Structure 1
C-alpha cells in the first residue's frame, strides 16, 4: 500500500517596521531554518544579510501565482514574511485559501492597528478599520458617522491627503486626522490636522490614518438602518421612497455574505441599502436605462458602497449568467414576459423574492403568484401632512402592493415544484 507524504508546512512570520530586532525567538528560528523565504520587497529587505535562505519576491499578480510558486518549492523548508499580523488584511488569508489552512503555521506580529490604538489610547475592539489597500476610496464613506473614531489602512504616502479630500467633500471637513507613520520603528512620526484644512505633504508610505469623525452642521444624517432620506439619492423620480424602502429591506432581510438581485434598479436605493447592512453583503442592480445605470453607480459611490455591481440591460435577458441570488427584489417591469418566472427559477430553495408595484395590472399578476406559491401579500400606504389653506391635512401617496415569499421544496399551496 503506497502513501503520499504530506506537503511541507509553510511558516508565515509577521514582521514589523522594526525588522529583525522586533522578531521573537520563534520567528527568528523559523526564518533561520528556512531554505527559501518568500515576501514583499520591503519585508525581505528587513532580513539580515547573513541569513542563508534564498529570498523570493512575490510575483505580480500574486494570487494566481501562489499554487505554482509553492509547487516549485515542494520539498524545501519555506517561510513567508508578512507585514504585521498575516491574518489581518494580510497574505495569510490568501495562503489559507490557496494552500489550505492546515498547511500553515502562522506567527503573528502586532499589527499596525494594535500599535495605533496603543498610541492613541483607543480600545481595539471598539475601533472600526477600513482598508484602502487595493480598494475603492469611496468605501470609506459608508463608515463615516458623526462622533465615530476609525482607522484607515493606507495604500501609500498619498492616502492621507486622499482621505482628507474625501471627508471634506462628503461633509466631514471638521474631522481630526492623525497620520501615524512607521509604527513600531525608531523613525515613528505623527502628523495632526483636520480634513478640511489638511496641508501636510506626502510622507512615509508606511502609514495609517486615525479619524475622529465630525460632521459639518449641514451634513445629512446617514442612518445605519434602512430608510435613508430620499434626498440622499440622485433620482429622476424612479426611487423606492423612504418608508416603503425601509419596509422592503426589512422583508428582504439581508444577512452577512448574501447576494441580492435588484431588478429594475431605478436609482439603486434597494441594492445600496442592502449593501450598507453589512460589509460582506453583495448586490447586483439590473437597469435597462443607461442613464439610470450611471446614476445608480454614482449613488452607490456617494453612499459608500462602490462595490455595487450595475448591469445595464432589460430583464429577464440581462439576468442570464448572474451568480445565484439569495434574494431577489423586483421593483419595476413586473409585466415583462418571463420576468417573474426567470427570477423564481434562479432562486435556490430558501431564497426570498419580494416584488413591489403600484399598478393594477402588476397587482393582478402578484395576486396570481400569491395564489400559486403562497407567501405574504400586503398593501403599504403612506400619507404626508401638507398645508391645506391655513390648516394641515393628509396627502396620500400611491399605495404599494408587495408580495414576498420564501422558496420551498413545495409551495404553500401544496404544489410540487
Structure 2
C-alpha cells in the first residue's frame, strides 16, 4: 500500500518548501488540506480535497475513498507538533506515513524572540477552550492560536487570573511575506490580529497575587465548595498516594467540589480525569472550579455510583471520596481497575471506616489514619483546632 505523504508547509508557501517536499507534492494524485494550505500550492493535475468540518470523523472515510492513489496531506509547519500528522499516526499507524516537516511555528517564534526552545512551554488552543491555559509565574509560554480572536481572549484570561503585567508578543504570519509583530501587556492588550498567529507570553503576576503551582494541596479557598471538600493537607497526601503519571486516567468518585480530579490533571497536561457526582449543584461547581484552575477538560458525570460508572473508560487510578457505604460502590471500582491500577479511599465516619477495614482485610493494602490540627484563636490566645480524622485506604491491584 502506498504510504500517505504528509508535507508541512509554512506561510512562505511553495518557495519555502524543500526539494523533497516539492517533489512529493508534484507527484501526488490527491492533495488534501485546508483551503488556505491548498492555496499555497501551484495548480497541477492532482485532485484537491478540502477537509470538511468537523475533520476528525472524516479522516478515515476520506482517505479510504482515495486508497491506491498517491495521497499527499498538507499540514501547517511541523505535522507532528499538534498537527494532522499525529492524528494520522494514531489512526493509521506510523508505518503508513511518510512525513516531510517544515519549520514549526514554535521554532520560528523561538528564533524571532531569542528564546531557547527547551525553556518554553507550548500550549495549543486550537479546538480547546482558552481556560486550558494554566498560567504559572515567571514562565515563558507559546500559545498556538485558534484564530484572530485568541490573543484578546488570552489577555482577558490573564487579567482575570491576576497576570495583567504579563508581556504578550503576537507573531502573525510567521515566515511569510506578511509577517508582523505586535507587543503589549495583557492588561492593556488591544491590537487587532490576523487569524494565523502565535502568542508568546512572558508570564508575570500582579503585586499581591498568590500564584498556584502544579503540585497537590492547593489552598482550600482556591475552590468554590459547600463544605464537601477534601481539605488541603489530606488532599496532598491523597494525591501522593494516587501517584499521577503523564497520560493516566483517574476516576474521582463522589467528587464533591472536584478538587482531587482537578489537582490530578494539573500535575501534567496529558493527565485525564472523570469526576462522578450525584448532586447537580455540585456538578456545576466542579465544572466551574475546573475552568478557573486551568483544567476545563475534566469530564464530569452526573450520576450516582455504581450505576454512573458503567461505560466509563478504564481508569489507571480511582479515588473514592464519597459514597463508600453505598451498595456495590467499592465492588464496581475494584472490578474496573486493571492490573497495576491504584485505588485510594478516604473515610471520615465510623461506618465508612468499617467498610475500608473489611476491604483491607480481604484484598490487602495500607490503612493510614490522618489527624490534622490547625492553629485558631482561643479567646485572646491561639490553640490547636483539630479537623475530623480521616482513615485512608491505599491499595494496588496485582
TM range (shorter): over 0.9
How far off is 1:207 after superposition?
A: 0.5
Larger gyration radius, structure 1 or structure 2: 1
Within the candidate set 14, 20, 39, 2:33 is matched to: 39
Are 1:25 and 2:32 an aligned pair? no
Match of 1:133 in 2: 126
Distance in 2, Cα, partners of 1:76 & 1:363? 64
Structure 2 portions without partners, runs of 5+: none
1:153 shift after superposition = 0.5
1:322-361 correspondence runs (5 A): 322-361=312-351
Aligned counterpart for 2:384 among listed residues 390, 394, 415 = 394
Greater CA drift, 55-64 or 284-293 = 55-64
Q: CA deviation at 1:68?
A: 2.4
**TM-score (norm: length of structure 2):** 0.97
Residue correspondence of structure 1 range 2-401 to structure 2 within 5 A? 7-49=1-43, 51-140=44-133, 142=134, 144-201=135-192, 203-401=193-391
CA contact (8 A) 2:28 2:72 kept: yes
> Contact 2:372–2:389 at 8 Å: present in 1 too?
yes
* Cα distance in 2, alignment partners of residues 16 and 25 from structure 1: 14
1:109-139 Cα distance to aligned partner (Å, 9 max, x none): 0011110000000011111111110011100
Write the distance in 2 (CA, Å) between the matches of 1:269 and 1:209.
30
Q: Distance in 1 between matches of 2:315 and 2:67?
A: 39
In structure 2, relative to structure 1, the CA distance for the partners of 1:68 and 1:312 (3 Å cut) is closer
Question: CA–CA distance in 1 between the matches of 2:127 and 2:23?
Answer: 32
Q: Distance in 2 between matches of 1:100 and 1:316?
A: 36
Tell me which stretches of 4 or more aligned residues in structure 1 moved more than 3 Å. Answer: none
The answer to whether the 8 A contact 2:140-2:200 is kept is yes
Instruction: Tell me the alpha carbon deviations over residues 210-250 of structure 1, each in whole angstroms, 9 at most, x when there is no partner.
Output: 11111112323212210001110001111000000000000
Gaps of 5+ in 1: 1-6, 409-417
- Alpha-carbon distance in 2 for matches of 1:105, 1:190: 34
Cα distance between partner residues in 1 of 2:5 and 2:312: 38
Tell me if structure 1 keeps the 8 A contact 2:30–2:49. yes
Instruction: Give yes or no for contact 2:214–2:263 (8 Å, CA) kept in 1.
Output: no
Structure 2: distance between partners of 1:251 and 1:96 = 34
Distance in 1 between residues matched to 2:396 and 2:184, nearest whole Å: 51
Aligned residues: 398
The worse-fitting range, judged by mean Cα deviation, of 318-327 and 21-30 is 318-327
Q: Distance in 2 between matches of 1:66 and 1:361?
A: 52
Structure 2: distance between partners of 1:90 and 1:325: 27
Counterparts of 2:3 and 2:332, CA distance in 1: 47
Contact in 1 for aligned 2:78/2:104 (Cα 8 Å): yes
SS at match of 1:128: strand
Query: Residue 224 of structure 2 aligns to a residue in which SS?
Result: coil
SS in 2 for 1:355: strand
**Residue by residue, what CA displacement relative to the aligned partner does 1:13-72 show, whole Å, maximum 9, x if unpaired?**
1111000111111111111112221111101101123x3322221223322222222222
CA–CA distance in structure 2, aligned partners of residues 74 and 318 of structure 1: 41
What is residue 411 of structure 1 aligned with on the other side? none
Distance of 2:197 and 2:293 partners within structure 1: 26
Give 1:73 deviation, angstroms. Answer: 1.9
Q: Which SS does the other structure have where 2:246 is aligned? A: coil
Backbone CA RMSD of aligned residues: 1.2
